[in-house]
Amino acid sequence: MRVTVVSGGVGGARFLRGLLAALGPGDDVTVIGNTADDIWLFGLKVCPDLDTVMYTLGDGIDEDRGWGRRDESWRAKDELAAYGVQPTWFGLGDRDLATHLVRTQMLQAGYSLSAVTAALSRRWLSTLRPAVRLLPMSDDRVETHIVIDDGQGRRAVHFQEYWVRLRAQVPAHEVVVVGQSEATPAPGVLAAVAGCDVLLVPPSNPVVSVGTVLGIPGVRAAVQSTPAPVIGVSPIIGGAAVRGMADQLLQAIGVEVSSAGVAGWYGARTAGGVLDGWLLDTRDAAGAGAVEAAGIRAKAVPLLMRDLEATTAMAQAALDLAGDVAR
């Protein structure tokens, strides 16, 4: 089986871990990772979602935080702060720093982000079975900015500042993805969508993770035309985001913060959207009728990724729903 997954960071990476446990060793997975969260800091190219996928699947992630390296130290961060270097609100751990140094050196040597990601992935993903290939959504620079009002008038800030420094505690009025309309899909992205047997949308942020990937010109059309069933997993449980700030950003774009609301925003492929099936949590089962009425096959299962066993069961439910849709 060839499975393609459109993924953000923590939620997508943890879902992928369960997916690998649900698949057989002869299957393969292609992950199309969001790069609109990327940021240049201290002269280094930082790709948070790509790195979270690599570290999680390669057993190097800090499990408590869900991001960054296990057994991390922060001496470089402290030294930069001692020099007064800004920003002080975003810290690069000492072990994590090596990834960004290698990435930046390769980019400055003329390699594309796709080539760099493939090189970095060899350390973390090359021994996995099923095999995993990680692709950035685009080699072009694309950045998500959030229009906020923090008492000083409306202004746009990089997504990382909104999330890390402001902790999504100020009103978000608009999501602006700079460079998206001029970007092109990275090599292999469209082929991975067109040539898979199942396409999965994990419980990543629908606005700034999955939405940014689908917004790259050509990607949404490829998803709409793929012969594979497209199955999504709700990031909303009981009317709230399990992790992150999806609820604030859904409100900013006028989407109801509910499992059915997100499914409706993605839309059914039969009506010009991207989904054939949708997993919602058992506590949101009452919303399954609305999802079905929109033309999307719905199934209610437990969606909290408490441990690997629960996450594997959730991933298997997504694969089973894909089988149901295909029949």
Token pair for 196: 């898979």
Check: CB of residue 60 under 8 Å from CB of residue 98. Answer: no
CA 178 to chain centroid, in Å, comes to 18
Could you give the domains of the chain? 2-36+128-140+181-326 (3.40.50.10680)
Give per-residue pLDDT as tens, 2-30. 999 999 999 999 999 999 999 999 999 99
**Nearest partner of 117 among 17, 233, 38, judged by Cα:** 38
Check: CB of residue 128 under 8 Å from CB of residue 55. Answer: no
Residue with the two structure tokens 């997508």: 12
d(CA 306, CA 80): 37
Give per-residue pLDDT as tens, 250-305. 999 999 999 999 999 999 999 999 999 999 999 999 999 999 999 999 999 999 99
- Region 171-191: mean pLDDT is 97
Check: CB of residue 146 under 8 Å from CB of residue 130. Answer: no
pLDDT of residue 327: 84
pTM: 0.96
Give per-residue pLDDT as tens, 66-83. 999 999 999 999 999 999
- Other Cβ atoms within 10 Å of 287 Cβ, number: 24
Query: Is 90 exceeded by the pLDDT of residue 231?
Result: yes
- Other Cβ atoms within 10 Å of 88 Cβ, number: 11
d(CA 89, CA 176): 22
pLDDT of residue 224: 98
Token pair for 100: 């960004």
Give per-residue pLDDT as tens, 118-170. 999 999 999 999 999 999 999 999 999 999 988 888 999 999 999 999 999 99
Cross-strand pairs, 178: 143
Tell whether the torsion through CA atoms of 245, 43, 109 and 96 is positive or negative.
negative
